[in-house]
Amino acid sequence: MQAVRFHRYGPPAVLACEEVPPPPVSPNEIRVAVHAAGVNPVDWRYRRGELKWMDWASFPRTPGADIAGTVHAVGDEVTAFHVGDRVVAMLDILSGAGYAEQVCVPADQAAHAPDSISMVEAAGLPLVTLTAIQALRDKAQLAAGEHVLINGASGGVGTMAVQWAAAQGATVTGVCSPRNAALVQSLGADTVIDYTSEDPLAASDAFDVVFDIVGNQSLAEAKAALRRNGRFVTTAITPRRFWEAFASRFMPGPTGYVVVVQPRGSDLASVMQMVDAGTLTPVVDRTYPLCDAKAAHQYSETKRAQGKIVLITEQEDVP
């Protein structure tokens, strides 16, 4: 089978399409014939070597945390999936190896994909939607009637966070550049702030939750814009943000959180139900053939994606 691999950290050019044997399936896993694989910023951070402090595996590596496809083989202990099922999964961020024609996934990290979405749409959903839900539901405990500011509303995580928050009955303010204002509004934002001409955190006492997906805000900067029991959640995994979040528990006023997305099949199953019901709509910006992963990374690294970037294997047209 074909897999995208890199033999050293470096620029997009280190990615190469290579012929490798299919992975053996463990008792608790399913092997999936991958039709489409989502691209996430963590994939190129991994390729650049920015995550080597948490990564002890040897080269070569295959990136890729998001896949959609059909079940090709089932481990002895797996009862929830059968050969031929359409599935979607979030793999482990470092060892996932989703940029490949076949991949093994622990069954508890997968969910059935409804017939109402394409494999390309499904592959763009897992990591970003689980991030949005685990940030807004589990960390911020966003409630109906509350007001949330979503910074980075037009990207992969943001397009899902806006829709999920609106579906919970929250009032949503999305932050994006002018070219994305119509998109963010169409996803359910009540108000849009253009970050190129306005400071999103200028209002005082305005928000119950600030969700920073860009990584250019801090709890200290968001404090005045947040209400007294406000919550600040960031996707930026840095020692400084962890410290700020920890320290906020011992101080009056808003609390800080860092979200670190976890693969979780049960969350993914509820995402699929919401998609099937039309409550969440996948937003796909561009697709590339699997072996053009280099070009997909170059585009993702511009940080201008509108929704998701997805790689397609030659199996994509299999029903």
Ligand X SMILES: NC(=O)c1ccc[n+]([C@@H]2O[C@H](COP(=O)([O-])OP(=O)(O)OC[C@H]3O[C@@H](n4cnc5c(N)ncnc54)[C@H](OP(=O)(O)O)[C@@H]3O)[C@@H](O)[C@H]2O)c1
List residues near ligand X by CB under 6 A.
Answer: 40-42, 127-128, 131, 151-152, 154-158, 175-177, 180, 195, 213-216, 235, 237, 259-261, 300, 303-306
The single-letter code of the amino acid at 229 is: N
Of the two residues 151 and 248, which places its CB atom closer to ligand X in the complex?
A: 151
Question: Cα(173)–Cα(205) distance, rounded to whole angstroms?
Answer: 14
Is 200:222 a contact under the CB 8 Å cutoff?
Answer: no
Q: Rounded to whole angstroms, what are the CA distances from 272 to 67, 87, 112, 299?
A: 14, 10, 8, 27
CB of 307 to ligand X, least distance (A): 7
Of the two residues 1 and 51, which places its CB atom closer to ligand X in the complex?
A: 51
Of the two residues 180 and 313, which places its CB atom closer to ligand X in the complex?
A: 180
Question: Cα(133)–Cα(271) distance, rounded to whole angstroms?
Answer: 9
Look at residues 68, 94, 71 and name the one whose alpha carbon lies nearest to residue 83.
Answer: 71
Q: Rounded to whole angstroms, what are the CA distances from 115 to 118, 273, 277?
A: 7, 11, 12
Of the two residues 41 and 96, which places its CB atom closer to ligand X in the complex?
A: 41
φ/ψ of 144, rounded to 5, equals -55, 140
Interstrand relation of 147-151 and 207-212 (parallel, antiparallel or unpaired): parallel
Is 98:222 a contact under the CB 8 Å cutoff?
Answer: no
CB of 191 to ligand X, least distance (A): 14
Of the two residues 78 and 309, which places its CB atom closer to ligand X in the complex?
A: 309
Question: Cα(264)–Cα(256) distance, rounded to whole angstroms?
Answer: 23
Look at residues 128, 60, 132 and name the one whose alpha carbon lies nearest to residue 97.
Answer: 60
CB of 273 to ligand X, least distance (A): 22
Q: How many CB atoms lie within 10 A of CB 152?
A: 23
Of the two residues 81 and 126, which places its CB atom closer to ligand X in the complex?
A: 126
φ/ψ of 122, rounded to 5, equals -65, -40
By beta-carbon distance, which residue lies closest to ligand X? 155
Of the two residues 117 and 150, which places its CB atom closer to ligand X in the complex?
A: 150
CB of 305 to ligand X, least distance (A): 4
Of the two residues 42 and 113, which places its CB atom closer to ligand X in the complex?
A: 42
The number of CA neighbours under 13 Å toward the Cβ of 254 is: 26
CB of 230 to ligand X, least distance (A): 20
Is 62:7 a contact under the CB 8 Å cutoff?
Answer: no
